[in-house]
Copies of this chain bind each other. A is one copy, B any other.
Amino acid sequence: GYAKIDHHRHLRKGFPEVIYCQGKTVDQVAQIFHRLCQASQGNILGTRATEEMFGAAKELVPEAEYDPTARMILRRSDSTPRRGMVCVCSAGTADLPVAEEAALTCELMGNRVERIYDTGVAGIHRILDQTEKLARANVVIVVAGMEGALPSVVGGLVDKPVIAVPTSVGYGASFNGLAALLGMLNSCASGVTVVNIDNGFGAGYAAGLINKLAGDKQ
């Protein structure tokens, strides 16, 4: 009995509960993953999962998969065609795990995702070259560490909601992502909202909800 699984959530939120694996024991993760897979036909996700947790989950759910970059355990089961378009931009190579956590979460919720990676503001032409692709998105996720300036630039280029994800990439006065977080919260571009440091999952989930609202319109 340590975990009350919230089975109403699928009804209330349109997506089953997602397991946040960090801070749980290997055994707890495997058990909860198993129970969720039995209770739902949809895609099941575990974020911040280690290889070891995946191993234990696979024992109980043989069709489980693992994405090492995004550090996610998944059971893919839905075959619904992906709708609309969400763009995921990232500033640097070290931001990839967070960007992929966002992208995968979003895809598993049934959204089409385009990735635009390694486009930090210090080489501004790299993001300007992508203006057209950005314009086709219903919502843009921007992942960046260090000074976290990319969401402001992207927010100025598009007329769609932008979800900014600060990462803990950096050192010294980045204070594990605080600099990027504060930068994004103070963005002078309008339409930018922010999630927790390294919270690729949260950004992907929120972007999925927004893209779903746009529906088949685009």
Contacts and interface: CB of A to CB of B under 8 A. Distances in A.
Given A153-B149, A194-B194, A188 B121 contact: yes
Nearest to A181: B173
B179 A182 contact: yes
A26 interface: no
A23 to B, nearest CB: 3
Contact of A94 (B24, B120, B158, B193): B24
A136 interface: no
Contacts of A185: 147, 172-173, 179, 181, 194-197
Interface stretch (A34-42, A57-65, A72-80, A198-206): A198-206
A148 B185 CA distance: 11
| Size class of the A contact interface (CB-based, 8 Å) | 35 or more
A193 to B, nearest CB: 4
Nearest to A6: B123
Nearest to A118: B4
A121 B3 contact: no
Contacts of A128: 124
Contacts of A160: 209, 213
A118 to B, nearest CB: 4
Contact of A156 (B12, B180, B196, B215): B12
A214 B215 CA distance: 7
Contact of A179 (B153, B168, B171, B186): B186
Nearest to A198: B172
Interface of A: 1-4, 6, 8-9, 12-15, 18, 20, 22-24, 28, 32, 91-94, 96, 117-126, 128, 138-139, 146-149, 152-153, 155-161, 163, 166, 168-199, 201-203, 205-206, 209-210, 213-215, 217
